[in-house]
Structure 1
């Protein structure tokens, strides 16, 4: 089968298509023919070893490969069709359309996934590309706002990077939780942010987000624009600052937040069938919709990576994968 691989760290140019063995599902696993997959910020960080902060850079290299990527096939968000099931699998059968989140390997024609993991039936009415746009951004927003920050109806939530891969879902999730949402994005993207449910919008090119006074019950920074010291003046008593990216210094700032009557939430979200089912329920209820910036054919995956690297996308970046159709390139 064909897969997009990167055998060294670097820019989009290190990604190429190559022929690798087609996997087989083991006990409790399913084999999915991938129809569409997301290219996310996580893929950018893993491809380029662009881990935030000196400590995280060291930890990241130890986890994912010191000198070269340990897993050369990236890709976590996917949608496709089950073609084979392993022993003991009863929840899925060949022909089932599914979507999910994997620990890598989705930038390929076929993917093995654990049947008990983050894989679920495709939400009714969505295309493969639309479903593949949901897992990373949707589950991240749901975990950080719904579980970690425990947003309550009537609270005021500020989302920085409201038009990005996580931000477009954070606006929708916060609104579904009953919050009054303010979204920060560039002027050209404010209409999109409003259409997703933001009651207020801020153009960061005209207004420095650090100068906003709120007060906000939750400040969700999806892009690393602030730290707690800069966010503190805009937080209400008992307010929560939720950075999606963080470093060692943020641990110290968390102590300062507690002394000020605030909380800084530093966490890592999990991915599960339950989370996907909740996203599907929100889609069915009209509370959540996929947001796709661009769709690329598999052979243009370098261009997809370059667009993610630009940090100027509006929602998800998707590659469509048709077995046997992508032009093979030398890795």
Structure 2
């Protein structure tokens, strides 16, 4: 089979499109003929090996040689202990917990990482969903305790995580403000944002508005700026940002949460099949769609990662796998 392979950390130049051995499923695994995969910031970090925390399990060289966690495709073969799926089933899932390998024509994955794909959901739509949508759901519902009628702000709303965040927050009955640059504002309104703020023209931490929940995708402000923008019992949840900002929230956020009524913390994403199924139900109910900016063939994963790394995407970047 053909796959995108890398054996050392670096820029997109270390990625090679080459023929490798087709994988064989273990007893609890299925082999999937991949039809689509999506690109996430985690792929970008693992490619470069930075921040160094991503090198756990592979300090000097990558632990896994094929990136790609979010996949959608058709099951071709099943291990002898598999009980949930049969050959021919169409599935999607986040396989970051069972070996990665999505940027390839075929991949093996634990059956417990996968969800049956609805017939109404295209492979590309399915591949765009698992990691970013589940991360967002956990940030808003579990960490943020989102409630109907709350004022919610999404900082960095125009990317893959942010576009799901706007829609998920609206599905919970919140009033949603999306923050991003000028080119993404119309798109944010089209997926349900009640208000939008252009960060190139306005600093939301300075205009005096307060929010019950802030979901921060980019982590580009001081924690004290976010604190000032929270309502008296508000919650700040960080799901993305630099290591410096992460450590600031880890230590100062814990202190702020202890001494006052405002809560500030970081979400650690955990793949979760129940949350994946929850997102499937939102899709089937028409409450969430996958916003896809660009599609690339498998041979152009390097270009897709470069586009993601430059911060341009309006929504998700998807890899289309043609056999």
Q: Fold-level match, TM-score > 0.5?
A: yes
2:223, 2:248 within 8 Å by CA — same for their partners in 1?
no
Higher relative contact order (CA 8 A, sep 6+): 1
1:134 & 1:50 partners in 2: Cα distance? 24
2:31 & 2:107 partners in 1: Cα distance? 6
**Residue by residue, what CA displacement relative to the aligned partner does 1:308-330 show, whole Å, maximum 9, x if unpaired?**
1111101111111123xxxxxxx
2:72, 2:126 within 8 Å by CA — same for their partners in 1?
yes
Establish whether residue 60 from structure 1 lines up as the match of residue 60 from structure 2. no
Deviation (angstroms), 1:158: 0.4
Match of 1:111 in 2: 107
1:74, 1:107 within 8 Å by CA — same for their partners in 2?
yes
Deviation (angstroms), 1:213: 2.7
- Residues 68-79 of structure 1 mapped to structure 2, 5 A cutoff: 68-79=61-72
Match of 2:228 in 1: 233
**SS at 1:150 equivalent:** coil
**SS at 1:159 equivalent:** strand
Match of 2:48 in 1: 48
Structure 1 stretch displaced more, 135-144 or 207-216: 207-216
Match of residue 158, structure 1, among 148, 153, 159:
153
1:212 & 1:92 partners in 2: Cα distance? 53
2:160 & 2:130 partners in 1: Cα distance? 11
Establish whether residue 81 from structure 1 lines up as the match of residue 74 from structure 2. yes
Match of 2:275 in 1: 275
Match of 2:170 in 1: 175
Deviation (angstroms), 1:8: 1.4
Deviation (angstroms), 1:248: 2.5
1:168, 1:196 within 8 Å by CA — same for their partners in 2?
yes
1:184, 1:202 within 8 Å by CA — same for their partners in 2?
yes
Structure 1 segments unaligned to the other structure (5+ residues): 52-56, 324-331
Establish whether residue 8 from structure 1 lines up as the match of residue 25 from structure 2. no
TM-score by length of 1: 0.92
Establish whether residue 132 from structure 1 lines up as the match of residue 114 from structure 2. no
2:135 & 2:273 partners in 1: Cα distance? 14
Match of 2:285 in 1: 285
**Residue by residue, what CA displacement relative to the aligned partner does 1:27-73 show, whole Å, maximum 9, x if unpaired?**
1211101111011111001101222xxxxx2x332x14212212111
2:14 & 2:205 partners in 1: Cα distance? 37
2:62 & 2:30 partners in 1: Cα distance? 25
Match of 2:305 in 1: 305
2:250, 2:265 within 8 Å by CA — same for their partners in 1?
no
**SS at 1:142 equivalent:** helix
1:60 & 1:138 partners in 2: Cα distance? 21
2:302 & 2:250 partners in 1: Cα distance? 36
TM-score by length of 2: 0.94
Deviation (angstroms), 1:185: 1.1
* Alignment: residue pair count: 315
Match of 1:141 in 2: 136
Structure 2 segments unaligned to the other structure (5+ residues): none
**Residue by residue, what CA displacement relative to the aligned partner does 1:4-25 show, whole Å, maximum 9, x if unpaired?**
1121112211111122221111
Match of 1:25 in 2: 25
**Residue by residue, what CA displacement relative to the aligned partner does 1:171-230 show, whole Å, maximum 9, x if unpaired?**
001110111000001112111101111111000110023324321011111112224212
**Residue by residue, what CA displacement relative to the aligned partner does 1:260-312 show, whole Å, maximum 9, x if unpaired?**
32111222122122111111100111110011010011111111011111111
**SS at 1:7 equivalent:** coil
